[in-house]
Structure 1
Amino acid sequence: MVRSPFRSNGEPWDPSHRFVTSWLLRPAVLAFLRGLFGIYILVTLIVVIIYDCRNLDLGGCAAAGDTFSYFTVLTYWGLAFYFIVAAIHTATYARTGSALLDRFPRFLQQAHGLFYSTITVYPFIVTAVYWGKLYAGPWFPLRFDAWRNVSQHAMNSGFALFEIVFARTAPQPWVHVAGLIVLLALYLGLAYITRATKGFYVYSFLDPAQKGGSGMIAAYVFGIAVGCLVVFAIVQGLIWVRRWATETKGGMTGKFARADRLAVDIEMVRPNKS
């Protein structure tokens, strides 16, 4: 039996539909943009796979398969699926006044909240690590490589920033930090499984043969974990500032679907409860 989407005290999980509305954009527009971003990211990933498969000099499809061991690629897939799923939820809300997400079991609703946290935190870590640690220049001689890297290592943070700025989401529970760290730990395990099964390190700083050995690896891993916490805190702050500026000061409580009246009533009576 599907569990009720309502809390034990009778309140819905997301009473004013913050995950599917914007303070500026109408739900239909928000759904369109989310879908557009999701399609762009998905097409980028597919085009890159096809390109790598055809490039036999660099390993062909075997090399393309190896990319699934990279945190950059996995988080980019995460962005694709998030925007496509979020677009579907937002479109159903725009059409009926009730998002598909509202009818999900509670654990899936909570998973969607954690999903939101991953796509608003991990992209910034990817961008910072790539341009700050891994990229050494010169600029890419091939336009395709430039487009691929800008899409995956720069535009990814732009997509994350869009969700932080334009969605009506509230600051997420701090317990999400634990989930983010656990996912990073699981990825670390994947990286060393890749080393054991395919014979290469996805990132050079995970190689114990590098200068500093295991101690340096521990420092990098700890640094990324701390960075994750810092980025999450910054994102929380940005969301708080956005709500303060748009809702408390600007009076822009949100653009709701015509069929939805519950969200408007709750927002007017209890603006800080969701």
Structure 2
Amino acid sequence: MARNPFKFGTDLWDPTYRFETSWLISPWALFFCRALFSLYAFTTLVFVLAWQCVNDTTHCLASQEQFSYFTSLTYWGLGFYFLFAALHTFTYARTGRPLLARFPRPLQALHSAFHTTIIVYPFVVTIVYWGRLYSGTWYTTSYQGWSNISQHALNSVFAFFEIVVPRTSPPPALHMLWLIVVLALYLAVAYITKAHRGFYPYDFLNPATEGAYVAAYVFGIAVGCIVLFGVAWGLVKLRQYVTETRLGKHGKFSAADGVNRHHHDKEKPGSAGDVEQAKPLASLAP
């Protein structure tokens, strides 16, 4: 897999439906939580765009500029991830077989890679914002406080939920490559924005004011992303160990899923069920 990061694999895809089940709550409850997070994310995004169109001095130009910010792009990612995760969880809760299991292998692979970005990028956004961009002065309007808390704090709460509550296995190490590739592509977007719209989305990307520190910031964020991937991987592994090995909670399954519901007690971390999921996810795609 390391020699070919585009390989899709041929192993059985996620046989115990870890992406759609939880060790703690039922599939219907997991669906409700994911749907609620998606609704909140999209409501926030649409409200911010509308508020800026009405209240900003540049009106809808400010709304258009939102799509140049990594914060906004990752928040759209959260909204769409939880929308599709809720759909897959709903179909599993209702029929015992998620829609994801019926997808072509490339789409299953992309969902796996998408999930990895969801449990890593929000923490990058939160740390960079509060550690580097926040001025230290609290906001003077309720809108400013709410929008920044929603996009720079609740985003990590949503990501932490995906780490702790579902039964997903640790993400493949090779997904680190794709996390860095996406960051590099965003860097290109930032400089295209400067060339096309005349501004840098983030001041630390401006070589005229930051000089050689620009490279340090870019390299530091990339390294931080890799470190956060390791932290997320470790937390998922710890959750599996505590909930499945120590507490014996191997999952709450749909009433329509006769196979997993009656035989989930045979699945242990590191057993065939986990290996079958882990092998396909060793690259961007299983």
* Bin for the TM-score computed over the shorter chain: over 0.9
Q: Compute the displacement of 1:267 (Å).
A: 3.7
Equivalent AA in structure 2 for residue 236 of structure 1: W
Contact 1:27–1:255 (CA under 8 A) maintained in structure 2: yes
Q: Compute the displacement of 1:138 (Å).
A: 1.1
Contact 1:16–1:266 (CA under 8 A) maintained in structure 2: no
Whether 1:206 and 2:208 are equivalent positions in the alignment is no
- Post-superposition Cα deviations, 1:35-67, rounded to whole Å, max 9, x if no partner, equal 00100010000000000000142x110111001
CA distance in 2, matches of 1:266, 1:218: 53
What is the root-mean-square deviation of aligned Cα atoms in Å? 1.4
The residue that corresponds to 2:26 in the other structure is 26
- Post-superposition Cα deviations, 1:221-259, rounded to whole Å, max 9, x if no partner, equal 110110010000000000011011110000000000011
The residue that corresponds to 1:144 in the other structure is 143
Identity %: 53
CA distance in 2, matches of 1:172, 1:266: 24
Unaligned runs of at least 5 residues, structure 2: 1-7, 275-286
Contact 2:255–2:261 (CA under 8 A) maintained in structure 1: no
Equivalent AA in structure 2 for residue 36 of structure 1: L
The residue that corresponds to 2:107 in the other structure is 108
- Post-superposition Cα deviations, 1:113-161, rounded to whole Å, max 9, x if no partner, equal 1100101100000000000000012100000110000000000000000
Unaligned runs of at least 5 residues, structure 1: 1-5
Residue 209 of structure 1 aligns to a residue in which SS?
A: helix
The higher relative CO (CA closer than 8 Å, separation ≥ 6) is in 2
- Post-superposition Cα deviations, 1:181-209, rounded to whole Å, max 9, x if no partner, equal 00000000000000000000000000001
1:217-236 → structure 2 map (5 Å cutoff): 217-236=214-233
Q: Compute the displacement of 1:269 (Å).
A: 3.3
For residue 10 of structure 2, the aligned residue among 4, 8, 11 is: 8
The residue that corresponds to 1:51 in the other structure is 51
The residue that corresponds to 1:256 in the other structure is 253
CA distance in 1, matches of 2:138, 2:261: 50
Contact 1:127–1:154 (CA under 8 A) maintained in structure 2: yes
The residue that corresponds to 2:123 in the other structure is 124
Equivalent AA in structure 2 for residue 162 of structure 1: F
Residue 128 of structure 2 aligns to a residue in which SS?
A: helix
CA distance in 1, matches of 2:56, 2:215: 36
* Runs of 4+ off more than 3 Å: 6-9, 264-270
- Post-superposition Cα deviations, 1:43-101, rounded to whole Å, max 9, x if no partner, equal 000000000000142x1101110010000000000000000110000000000000000
The residue that corresponds to 2:74 in the other structure is 75
Whether 1:63 and 2:84 are equivalent positions in the alignment is no
Whether 1:41 and 2:38 are equivalent positions in the alignment is no
CA distance in 2, matches of 1:253, 1:103: 23
Q: How many aligned residue pairs are there? A: 264
Structure 1 length-normalised TM: 0.94
Equivalent AA in structure 2 for residue 103 of structure 1: R
